[in-house]
Structure 1
Amino acid sequence: MNYKNYPMVSRVVFGRGSFNQLNDILAPKRLNAKAPFIFLVDDVFKGNAWLTSRISLAYDDQLLFISADEEPTTSQVDELVEQIILNHTDRPSGIIGIGGGTLLDLSKAVAIMLTNEGESKDYQGWDLVKTPAIYHVGVPTISGTGAEVSRTTVLTGPEKKLGINSDYTPFDQVILDPELTKDVPKDQWFYTGMDCYIHCVESLKGTYLNAFSQSYGEKSLELCKEIFVDGDGSEEELQDKLMMASWHGGMSIAYSQVGVAHALSYGLGYLLGTKHGLGNCIVFDHLEEFYPEGVALFKRMKKIHGIILPQGLCSKLDEDEFNTMIDVALAMEPLWENAMGKNWKQTITREKLRALYEKM
């Protein structure tokens, strides 16, 4: 048996107000006066002095506001890398991503592509990265995606929607400050929280499950229930819990894998641009056959929080569009194997996926 030697985030700070320590954390990592820190920040914080005033820029440091309206693409990563290389004589001291899953994934990908040749689409897959990324830091401002802890960066490329899954992807440093999540809109909070919940269900019901994944997955699931079913605690306590649920949920899939909902959600995301958290919810709503208890509880949480999911996303699609989504979903082989076992191709047919997409 060959066990995976899995890389973890080597340093993490947790606590309300811990974002204030960002500058102290970065100072010893500066390579020289010409090697800047590049801050990639979700543009919802543009003009938000509460957050931006705490980022100290020195020398050639750069703060780039980036929209998270669209999920990250390989071409966006390549453009950012080119821009950084052209604007600075020295390679940056580090990339700091501040935002939700989109910004965190983008930051991880940029850090990798600053040291690896070619285009980011060449690295979509498993263990294709050969050179360590530059120093990169993640600061989540929304909880649930697990992007702050995972070894993948989900990118939509010209041919597929697939992450750069590698040992060099995880952040070197993460700052978990639950206070940064205080202004997340309710529906966004729910969809991203459900991304975390679905990570746990898929990990805990998967064939790849082991005691390592299980211990993290069970803790995360327990926290999700406290937050979304019981509403246990003050608003601040719930923010703290969801940040930890996200971390544990991300750790749970680190040593195992996600499953059916994520595979199908990638198809929706690739063809229709459906945001990842929302896409997972739309798909998961129809997966009773695979995750009966998980889906029943999901429907209950949806009801508790008055969430109404979009319907009929696939009602006007033609044959080619369905086939594109099915191709993207079927390409996620490790996810299907985790969900269904080694013989998954016997049950997961194109017709089966077509019928599932038609319900959405």
Structure 2
Amino acid sequence: MTFRNFKMVGYVVYGRGCFNQLDELLAPHRKGDAPMIFLLDHYFENRPLARRIPLRGKDKVIFADVSYEPKTSYVDRLATELKQEFGTVSGIIGIGGGSTMDLAKAVSLMMTNPGSSADYQGWDLVKLPGVYKVGIPTLSGTGAEVSRTTVLTGPTKKLGMNSDFTPFDQIVLDPELTADAPVNQRFYTGMDCYIHCIESLEGTYLNEFSKSYGEKALQLCQEVYVKKQGWDADSDDKLMMASYAGGMSIAYSQVGVAHAVSYGLAYLLGTKHGIGNCIVFDKLEEFYPEGVREFKKMVEKNKIDIPQHITKGLTDEQFNTMIDVSLVMKPLWENALGKDWEKIMTRDRLRALYEKL
């Protein structure tokens, strides 16, 4: 039997205020006058964090437009513009939520790999290491800081660049950066972590490696969203580690039904990942009964509205587009339903599920 030998993040620094070490972390990786490129979530334009970035020489801050999840066309445009302006760069630093970090990973890879990022949507298609890349989350929950994928919406599908070259070389986990996150966004992103823990822990791919990280991440999510009254600094600390552990839990397993279905929503309707998972998971009692019950309690306790009826009025063609995108996610379906998943999740059954949303 052959066991997966997966690539993890190179270096991790954790702690309140550790963002202040960024300059010294980057220094050894600067190559002559080739700049560091900081992709910063556009939310931070004209906010204090933008002024804290340690710029040197030709370094550049690009405010990443993550109104929608990253598109392959946006990745390609950024990489092309950077090559034209600088020739090469020393590194790409993604500062923001999951979309910004995914964008940074993808741009790093496209600085060295030919063609379009759409050519690499799939598993183990990337052939060359990207430039040095750093992930700095300002929201906790996606696990993008540790995952081996970068989720992109391409011309025909929403699918990640899943490869051993995708993980960050360095991540900076500073809970202070998440302190001012909008309440709803913090919940949706935190639930991304909760949901992928449930999917991993109840999946057919589960082993003790995944279980160890998944159980800890789930426990931390429950402490923050079920047991705590109100939000505090301790909540930020716990959720940041839940995100890390949750991302590690799926390194050796996979996510499941909620993620597979939400990919269709994102592709057709532009629904953001965290809220999309919440919309889908809310209707998945038949697959994850205990998890969905607890999820509904967390929604109620935290006074969050989950959008309803978002697929009402869609055409047959639109439903088929979502179904096609979702069914491409074969490892997710196999993890959720087993090797015979295609007999279980028929197109008609998936259509009925989309109609509930």
Bin the TM-score by the shorter chain. over 0.9
Report the more deviating stretch, 234-243 or 188-197.
234-243
> For residues 122 and 154 of structure 2, what CA distance do their matches in structure 1 show?
11
Where does residue 214 of structure 2 map in the other structure?
217
* Residue correspondence of structure 1 range 1-360 to structure 2 within 5 A: 1-33=1-33, 35-48=34-47, 50-89=48-87, 91-231=88-228, 235-360=232-357
Residues 226 and 232 of structure 1 are in contact (CA less than 8 Å); yes or no, is this contact kept in structure 2?
no
SS, match of residue 85 in structure 1: helix
Q: Aligned letter for 2:36?
A: F
SS, match of residue 56 in structure 1: coil
Q: Aligned letter for 2:256?
A: G
SS, match of residue 99 in structure 2: helix
> For residues 331 and 12 of structure 2, what CA distance do their matches in structure 1 show?
29
Q: How many residues align?
A: 357
SS, match of residue 104 in structure 1: helix
> For residues 198 and 52 of structure 2, what CA distance do their matches in structure 1 show?
37
Residues 232 and 238 of structure 1 are in contact (CA less than 8 Å); yes or no, is this contact kept in structure 2?
no
Deviation string for 1:130-182 (max 9, x for gaps)? 11111000000000000000000000000000000000000000000000001
Identity %: 63
Deviation string for 1:217-265 (max 9, x for gaps)? 0000000000000017960000000000000000000110000000000
SS, match of residue 321 in structure 1: helix
User: Following TM superposition, by how much is the alpha carbon of 1:53 offset from its aligned partner in structure 2, in angstroms?
Assistant: 2.3
**RMSD value, Cα:** 0.9
SS, match of residue 168 in structure 1: coil
User: Following TM superposition, by how much is the alpha carbon of 1:55 offset from its aligned partner in structure 2, in angstroms?
Assistant: 1.3
TM-score by length of 1: 0.98
User: Following TM superposition, by how much is the alpha carbon of 1:51 offset from its aligned partner in structure 2, in angstroms?
Assistant: 1.2
Deviation string for 1:247-285 (max 9, x for gaps)? 000000011000000000000000000000000000001
TM-score by length of 2: 0.99
SS, match of residue 250 in structure 2: helix
> For residues 230 and 209 of structure 2, what CA distance do their matches in structure 1 show?
28
Gapped runs of 5+ residues in structure 2? none
> For residues 233 and 243 of structure 1, what CA distance do their matches in structure 2 show?
17
SS, match of residue 138 in structure 1: strand
> For residues 311 and 54 of structure 1, what CA distance do their matches in structure 2 show?
40
Q: Aligned letter for 1:18?
A: C
> For residues 212 and 109 of structure 2, what CA distance do their matches in structure 1 show?
30
Q: Aligned letter for 1:60?
A: K
Gapped runs of 5+ residues in structure 1? none
> For residues 323 and 43 of structure 1, what CA distance do their matches in structure 2 show?
33
Q: Aligned letter for 2:177?
A: L
Q: Aligned letter for 2:192?
A: D
SS, match of residue 139 in structure 1: strand
> For residues 199 and 231 of structure 2, what CA distance do their matches in structure 1 show?
29
SS, match of residue 58 in structure 1: coil
User: Following TM superposition, by how much is the alpha carbon of 1:56 offset from its aligned partner in structure 2, in angstroms?
Assistant: 2.0
SS, match of residue 23 in structure 1: helix
> For residues 342 and 30 of structure 1, what CA distance do their matches in structure 2 show?
47
User: Following TM superposition, by how much is the alpha carbon of 1:183 offset from its aligned partner in structure 2, in angstroms?
Assistant: 1.1
> For residues 232 and 213 of structure 1, what CA distance do their matches in structure 2 show?
29
SS, match of residue 206 in structure 1: coil
Residues 72 and 155 of structure 1 are in contact (CA less than 8 Å); yes or no, is this contact kept in structure 2?
yes
Deviation string for 1:51-79 (max 9, x for gaps)? 12221222211110112211100000000
> For residues 209 and 92 of structure 2, what CA distance do their matches in structure 1 show?
30
Q: Aligned letter for 2:207?
A: N
